[in-house]
Amino acid sequence: MPCDAVLSLVTTVDPGGRDGTRLREARQTDLLSVYRIEKTVFKQPWPYAAFERLLDAPAFLVAEQPTGGPTVDPAAAKHTDGSGVVGYVVGDTTPNHGRDIGHIKDIAVRPDTQGQGLGRRLLRRALHHLAASGASVVKLEVRASNTRAQRLYGSEGFEPVRTEPRYYGDGEAAHVMALELGDWIRTERD
């Protein structure tokens, strides 16, 4: 896919999935919902301040259901404008001698909306944003026990690079996975 096509995908508003859930860049008013999802999904959640610091990251995106969308926990789902944030992804880039590295730092979907393809949509959109930001390779870390996420990443072309023992605060190892972004763009899966 040519670079212009990547930029078009990044600047075009995501029309939404079958359920009307759309993806967009995160805003300050999303952070409480993002933080609530983080605390629900992860054993060792990021602090709220971490999301504040990354708000301007090139691939900090949220999945948002339209007003009146299905919800189990309205307190965790309600966005200040009345819509529901049901997932997010945080990705940034680091300059690296002409071969910038993208990093998917965090991705989560609210438990009652998991299994509907939102994680994959968020990941793909973030990869497009990272490509438009100049990344040529993207890495991420995933818990050794999180085989569901490993399957998702593998199906998008991420490959295991190494294992970091005791990476997480509870002593669990992380698998570092990487993706050549140019290859992914050329062979993007449907």
Nearest Cα to Cα of residue 64 among 84, 88, 41: 84
Give the model's pLDDT for residue 67: 61
| Residue 167 among the catalytic residues | no
Instruction: Supply φ then ψ for residue 118, to 5 degrees.
Output: -65, -40
Place of tokens 């949509």: 121
Whole-model pTM: value is 0.84
How much is the pLDDT for 185?
A: 86
Q: By the 8 A CB rule, do 80 and 159 touch? A: no
Residues 6+ apart with CB under 8 A from 124: 156, 188
pLDDT at 7: 44
35, 38, 88, 153: the active-site residue: 153
Question: Residue 52 region, left (φ>0) first, then alpha (ψ -120 to 50), else beta?
Answer: alpha
The CATH class that applies to domain 3-186 reads alpha beta
Q: Please report where in the chains the tokens 């690296």 appear, as a residue.
A: 96
Distance CA(176)–CA(158), nearest Å, equals 9
Whether 30 and 81 have beta carbons less than 8 Å apart is answered as: no
pLDDT at 80: 39
The secondary structure element, H or E, covering residue 123 is helix 118-132
pLDDT digit string (tens) for the chain, length 190 residues: 444 444 444 444 465 666 789 999 999 999 999 999 999 999 999 999 999 999 999 999 999 998 654 444 555 444 334 449 999 999 999 999 888 999 999 999 999 999 999 999 999 999 999 999 999 999 999 999 999 999 999 999 999 999 999 999 999 999 999 999 988 988 875 4
- Please report the pLDDT score of residue 186 as a whole number: 85
Choose, from 141, 156, 180, 188, the residue flagged as catalytic.
141
Q: Residue 88 in contact with residue 54, Cβ under 8 Å?
A: no
90 and 57 Cβ atoms separated by less than 8 Å: yes
Predicted pLDDT of residue 60: 98
pLDDT at 125: 97
Full DSSP string of 39-84: HHH-SSPPPHHHHHHTTTSTEEEEEEEPTT---S-HHHHB-TTS-E
DSSP state of 168: S
User: d(Cα 31, Cα 11) in Å, to the nearest integer?
Assistant: 22
Per-domain residue ranges for the chain?
3-186
Based on the residue annotation, tell me whether 153 is a catalytic residue of this protein: yes
